[in-house]
């Protein structure tokens, strides 16, 4: 084979790879749009009246996740099943965002931490990497850390809305989350950096709880029976 023939074959392979990436990009763009719609919907809980409509907003968000599952099915067909990590960078960010959104919905519904398996089911993908397109552990953890930041914001806005018990419950949850992360030996630089930000979320929530305490509002919250979820 001549040099020109060799490079012509290489160009063919590069062209095929580029085509795959372009097809992936189109589906990822659709996923990003759906994620923005879910985020816009859930952001309403930060507004005063939004606390009264949490169940309805979560239900609508769940409906949007039906679209996510359909889009995930399309994404799975765009590349060879054994080349997940070759193209992982294309959907890594949006997948982490979707993990956060699923975790936020579950927290708003039950004030519990969603499992990786449950997130995978919500998104219509696998939890086990051996079964194909799956939810990578680091992507799951990154989404959970984004949840922590969102809950720190929710704690502040809860006080503004007159819900004094919610920040206390958020504080308990975030401290348990922080304890959980301390059990991990994080070696991924990006994930480690994001985890370092968790201490600021913990501090922010502690300041909210402290402010409630010195104003005597934490006692009011306890007497009130825990508030509405």
Give the residue numbers of the binding site: 150
The tokens describing 93, both together, are 């960010």
Q: End-to-end distance of the chain based on CA atoms, in angstroms?
A: 70
Q: Please give the Cα distance from 16 to 14 (Å, whole number).
A: 5
Q: Please give the Cα distance from 33 to 62 (Å, whole number).
A: 15
**How big is the chain, counted in residues?**
229
Q: Which residues are annotated as a binding site for Mg(2+)?
A: 150
Q: Please give the Cα distance from 114 to 99 (Å, whole number).
A: 9
The tokens describing 64, both together, are 């949007």
- Beta carbons of 168 and 221 less than 8 angstroms apart: yes
């Amino acid at each position: 084979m001549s040099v020109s023939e060799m490079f012509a074959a290489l160009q063919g392979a590069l062209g095929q790879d580029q085509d795959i990436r372009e097809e992936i990009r189109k589906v990822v763009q659709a996923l990003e749009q759906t994620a923005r719609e879910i985020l816009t919907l859930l952001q309403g809980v930060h507004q005063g009246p939004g606390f009264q409509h949490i169940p309805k907003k979560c239900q609508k968000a769940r409906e949007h996740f039906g679209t996510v599952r359909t889009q995930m099915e399309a994404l799975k067909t765009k590349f060879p099943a054994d080349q997940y990590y070759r193209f992982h960078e294309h959907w890594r960010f949006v997948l982490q965002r979707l993990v956060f959104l699923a975790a936020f919905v579950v927290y708003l519904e039950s004030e519990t931490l969603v499992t990786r398996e449950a997130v995978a089911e919500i998104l219509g993908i696998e939890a086990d990497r051996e079964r194909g397109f799956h939810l990578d552990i680091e992507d799951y953890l990154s989404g959970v850390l984004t949840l922590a930041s969102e809950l720190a914001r929710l704690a502040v806005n809860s006080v503004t809305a007159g819900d004094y018990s919610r920040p206390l419950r958020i504080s308990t949850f975030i401290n348990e989350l922080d304890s959980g992360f301390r059990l991990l030996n994080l070696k991924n630089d990006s994930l480690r950096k994001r985890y370092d930000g968790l201490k600021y979320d913990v501090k922010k929530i502690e300041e909210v709880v402290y402010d409630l305490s010195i104003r005597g509002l934490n006692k009011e919250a306890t007497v009130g029976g825990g508030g509405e979820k």
